[in-house]
Amino acid sequence: MCDRLRAVAIPVQDSLFNLSERRQLDDGAWLDVRPGWLSDEGTDLLGELQAAIAWRAERRRMYDRVLDVPRLVSFHDLASGDAPHPVLGRLRRRLNDIYAGELGEPFTTAGLCLYRHGGDSVAWHGDTLGRGATQDTMVAIVSVGATRTLALRPRAGGPALRLAQHHGDLVVMGGSCQRTWEHAIPKTANPTGPRISIQFRPRGVR
């Protein structure tokens, strides 16, 4: 791991990410963190998205049981259909202006997750082109609503990073991040309101 990250105590490392700049991780992975990136959008965006999006509850087999997925989800192909709220189209255009050249292709999809309370979460995972894929890709996450923790850890083992995601913050995970690191939204016992995560991805990445 790079010396700058190795020297900082775990688990909370917000001080690493208080500037809008790129942070290099291990194995060719990097993070861009842009606090308050959404500051010019409406003040009730959380409520507007909660009302406008067709949220879906999912169930998933875990070992010998089928359980409710602890969040609501919605997925949209913005390249072939209308966005359910105009902010999704605006954010996609802004992100493509910044990153499409480096990525080599545009962001085309928006996946939304509604974390209704502290008991909603998502387990450790990476977003990839599919099983066995070796290509690097990029995922941009915009946070709306309550503050939740984005946790990241290297797949090869090592200390995890915990990054507080406030309303309007943007995190972009690039390079090998989806292959060599995992990320999660842990549950929390602290009282917290709803949060919507908007994930912009290139075509074929889920």
φ, ψ dihedrals at 204, nearest 5° = 90, -5
pLDDT tens track for 125-157: 999 776 555 679 999 999 999 999 999 999 999
pLDDT at 133: 59
Is the preceding omega at residue 11 within 30 degrees of 0, hence cis? yes
- Domains for the chain: give ranges and CATH numbers: 10-201 (2.60.120.590)
Q: What is the DSSP string of 165-190?
A: E-TT-EEEEEETHHHHEEEEE----S
pLDDT surpasses 90 at 169: yes
The predicted model scores a pTM of 0.86
